[in-house]
Structure 1
């Protein structure tokens, strides 16, 4: 309903469907420039993420490198860290006032331009943010490939590079297209990185432009902003449509069940490859986290980091003294937790319908799953604008307003993150024997009893995994809540961004460090819980 209202506001004029509102928006100088910047950053960062993520997935999935599970877990952490926290960490790691670089004696000259405040900086960090996404998709595809063709080629004398070029990559072509589309759409809707790096460099993208207009002018500009949001949503949906068309043309049918992946022996090259993987983890995870921590442990940004300047005052401030941060932690925990629980229940119902024998149920499940994928592809700021359009006035009949409350943020999370909750449940449902449900029906069990006594207990571990993934995603996010928060209803993401934007760098670093630790702790808990789940439910478990 909110997205339909957005389409009506952005694609109709006097009741008739027309592109005139979008064309009017494109007449201004700022919108075309922001559109070009969005497409530019999304394309090149998606391309870089595709190359890096695919290379790492091939190494992890097809070679005999050691500690695969540990490397996979560490490489996926940047994906779970919020983009604005990633941007803050890298800003503090590479800038002239970086405590870490000052301690090492390699900081840039004071007063020099920050190297990341540029188009290249935005593209680089978007690539780092979305490279794990590509890695995860390609790695899952490698696990699902039957390996008879690869073994036959190797028996025939083909070298590993020839096998890769002639067999593996052609078979992966549909997955590579999907991975690039996913990275492109994710970068297209990213707000945190372009906001923190692009605004100082005057490199404005469409999500940042939407935020600037609504933040500066308020709800009065909703009509004009809706046209820009509809344009952004149309681009995302068009990319997904092109992806599906290309998938249909490049898909190669395979015969044979998934088997354990190959372990091509690297021989003397294995230590070098493992060292390169360790350096990649150090560059993408350890360096920014250390920079974030060192900034959080100094009294003022710019002060050198040493034993005499270390202080825990910033952590004490954000954890015990600042009411806004305490409220933000409580709000995010409550809203993300409730959204995760709600989506777990919805995902179980949709998963049941997707695997039902009855065509009506199956079609309903397919329609809901398709809608979930569509809303996940649409940028979060577009969803938030749609919810503002839908709920800026009191709800008819009951005359209750949820605008400027946590309820509207929670509903937006349900809309945006259903796809995340659905994926592990769908994977688990595919492994269920339909005879269980049929036997219960023959015994006279009605729908709700079958759901409660048979289906729900079997799917509960996967649903819990999906709920935790939703919680991890929503707990620190900023894209959806950037336009929906209000005083008293702050979230962790908006509070961190406001600290950094307001110049309270050390407080932003302390709060970011706490959220990173919380994210890693939740991922470790999910990893431990994943031992009891079907294979593939927890993405990084090999």
Structure 2
């Protein structure tokens, strides 16, 4: 059945999609490329050639690719191993283990960096109280290339774990059952069946970790700058922070290079993923649970040891730093104080403002993207070529902007919206709205993926039957499709909110006085030397994130399956 777009609600929805795509996805990147390649209005390769021959730019590109590749490789290995242990064996308390493994993904990267700095450094209050701190004056072990790679890998391991675990659960169990009945050992099943079928998921996990590491600002800045290991996001931030908007043309060229590198890497990985995909038949079922027997306690001990080392040690050190009067003092009854928490929660107005701003910006982006994902996914799955082109085109733009590092998007938004908007004459620059809209651009792919998957499972006859019955576009969306895909839309919105709530990469260059976010406030405390205040603010942020996740987890028991992303 071939249909055409009729005037009315559907035409208005498709026109709105085109307008949003043009304003938030095409215009900023187009303006970025225009100012980079034609700063004076005429095409010139001079700025690009100058940037490519710059030692600082070359070193930043090399460091970015080096840290992204090595950390993504490590995250893929560790994340896959964790997914296989949790999803393929009979270890106990799997629900709690999954929650704790995914928790670092929801903690801001710069908070992760701060916590590890305070966990292993010579001035660590926790290590000093235990008598295990390195000698004062010695170089911090994480202020190095290896330190950046290690913390990036730990930060992005949950991403790979989430992707591989989902793929593992989607494999029909009949495959492993048949192999075990035929006498194959667990190791042989894993090597000959499970891992080959997981190849696309492994590439997808590696790609997500690579892109996330390539655009990471917080970890690279806090750990790399002291070691003079500068990556592209940090180089862009340095140029803008030092010279302001006057550096926009030169910074735009660097941002353009970074965008091209990121998109090219994702494109190559996507092609490899398609080549390695294998069609499976049969409904997905829980994977085979291999009984570990007497060795189970060894595996569980290693699993909980990893969680303690990755989660408990840095968070305990973060809390210890927040509880001492001066950074470097050991945590004892004589040095313990709650004054740092009182300072940020009571005396510093910026704290409450930052939490409010982050909640508003992240919440606005999550709600807008949930609605946008439903409309775009419905259009992409429609029968008409116009609908499919518009919906599919927006999905492609979402993949591109997700691959483009957040610091590049922030530069693109500054370039696009620094001048007042036509007709209304109002500038979005230095407002909270520009941060919220940047989140809409950066995180569309996160909201769109689960909704697209939900629409793919719906029978197209539903739409045809509703049309024949005379239901208009609005009624079909409101009474048929929105309720059916609501759990997937809610899942995407939750992930968007948790991602945007604590982020710093997108807002690093977009914030202004009065429009601070949680991420920029913590980073400014640490960058300004107020280590104990940064630790206190970070501890409050982690506590708020954990409470929010626990509330959502509790609500997930009474919601349709799939609404809360980490619940089965």
Query: Which range, TM-score by smaller chain?
Result: over 0.9
The corresponding residue for 1:36 is 62
Q: Secondary structure at the match of 1:211?
A: helix
Question: In structure 1, the residue corresponding to 2:397 is in which secondary structure?
Answer: helix
Matched, 1:165 2:197: no
Matched, 1:445 2:465: no
Selected match of 2:113 from 87, 90, 96: 87
* Aligned 1:223-238 pairs, distance under 5 A: 223-238=249-264
Deviation at 1:430, TM superposition (A): 3.4
Q: Distance in 2 between matches of 1:468 and 1:182?
A: 18
Report what 1:181 is aligned to. Answer: 207
Counterpart Cα distance in 1 of 2:435 and 2:162: 28
**Match among 291, 294, 305 for residue 279 of structure 1:** 305
Using the size of structure 1 for normalisation, the TM-score is 0.97
Distance 1:540 1:400 in 2: 41
Counterparts in 2 of 1:43-62, with a 5 A limit? 43-62=69-88
RMSD (CA atoms): 1.7
For 1:419, the equivalent position in structure 2 comes to: 445
Measure the CA separation in 1 of the matches of 2:227 and 2:489.
43
Shift in alpha-carbon separation, 1:453–1:311, aligned structure 2, 3 A: same
- The equivalent of 2:14 in structure 1 is none
After alignment, is 316-325 or 419-428 more displaced? 419-428
Question: C-alpha deviations, 1:256-281, integer Å up to 9, x for none?
Answer: 22112110111111111111110111
Check if 1:495 corresponds to 2:501. no
Q: Does 1:390 align with 2:416?
A: yes
Quote the residue 2:503 is aligned against: 477
Once the two structures are superposed, the pairs formed by residues 240-389 of structure 1 within 5 Å of their partners are 240-389=266-415
Distance 1:349 1:532 in 2: 26
**C-alpha separation in 1, matches of 2:493 and 2:350:** 26
294-303 or 452-461: bigger deviation = 452-461
Structure 1 residue matching 2:136: 3-state secondary structure: coil
Q: Cα distance 1:327–1:293, how it changes in 2: closer, same or farther (>3 A)?
A: same
Matched position secondary structure for 1:199 = helix
Corresponding residue for residue 96 of structure 1: 122
Higher mean Cα deviation, 12-21 or 440-449? 12-21
Partner of 1:139: 165
1:273-331: CA deviation from partner (whole Å, max 9, x where unpaired): 11111011101111111111111111111122122322211111111110122221111
Other-structure match for 1:210: 236
Structure 2: gaps spanning 5 or more residues: 1-26
User: Deviation at 1:417?
Assistant: 0.9
Change (3 A) 1:249 1:430: closer
Give 1:530 deviation, angstroms: 2.7
- Using a 3 Å threshold, how does the CA distance of structure 1 residues 264 and 79 change in structure 2: closer, same or farther? same
Match of 2:454?
Answer: 428
Q: Secondary structure at the match of 1:450?
A: helix
Contact kept, 8 Å, 1:11 with 1:230, in 2: the verdict is no
**d(CA) in 2 for partners of 1:144 and 1:47?**
23
- The question of 1:400 aligning with 2:426 is answered yes
CA distance in 2, matches of 1:275, 1:505: 34
Query: Quick one: structure 1 residues 302 and 14, their matched pair in 2 at CA, closer, same or farther if it must change by over 3 Å?
Result: closer
Q: In the alignment, is residue 516 of structure 1 matched against residue 542 of structure 2? A: yes
Instruction: Say whether 1:465 aligns with 2:465.
Output: no
What's the CA shift string for 1:486-536, capped at 9, x where partnerless? 111111100100000111111101110111111111212222233345544
For residues 23 and 535 of structure 1, do their structure 2 counterparts lie closer, same or farther at Cα, with a shift above 3 Å needed? farther
Deviates more, 1:142-151 or 1:224-233: 142-151
Matches of 1:77 and 1:43, distance apart in 2: 23
Greater mean alpha carbon deviation, residues 424-433 or residues 395-404: 424-433
Task: Write the distance in 2 (CA, Å) between the matches of 1:434 and 1:245.
Answer: 29
- SS state at 1:200 partner: helix
Question: Matches of 2:468 and 2:271 in 1, distance apart?
Answer: 42
> 1:108 aligns to what?
134
Larger displacement relative to structure 2 (391-400 or 88-97): 391-400
Cα distance change on mapping 1:170 and 1:315 into 2, 3 Å: same
1:24 aligns with 50
| Residue range with higher mean Cα deviation, 493-502 or 532-541 | 532-541
Report Cα offsets for 1:373-402 as digits up to 9, x if no partner: 111111000000000000111112221111
- How far did 1:476 drift? 1.0
| Shift in alpha-carbon separation, 1:534–1:353, aligned structure 2, 3 A | farther
User: What is the distance in 2 between the residues matched to 1:215 and 1:268?
Assistant: 58
Q: Is the CA contact 1:462–1:533 (under 8 Å) kept in the aligned structure 2?
A: no
Give the conservation status (yes or no) of the 8 Å contact 1:141–1:175: yes
Contact persistence 1:41–1:187 (CA under 8 A) = yes
Residues 83 and 161 of structure 2 are in contact (CA less than 8 Å); yes or no, is this contact kept in structure 1? yes
Give 1:464 deviation, angstroms.
2.6
8 Å contact from structure 1 (residues 465, 526) kept in 2: no
Q: For 1:533 and 1:8, locate their aligned partners in 2 and report how far apart those are by CA, in whole Å.
A: 47
Distance across 2 between alignment mates of 1:148 and 1:23: 57
Q: What CA distance in whole angstroms lies between the structure 2 residues aligned with 1:319 and 1:424?
A: 37
Q: Does the aligned pair in 2 maintain the 1:428–1:537 contact within 8 Å?
A: no
Report how many residues are paired. Answer: 542
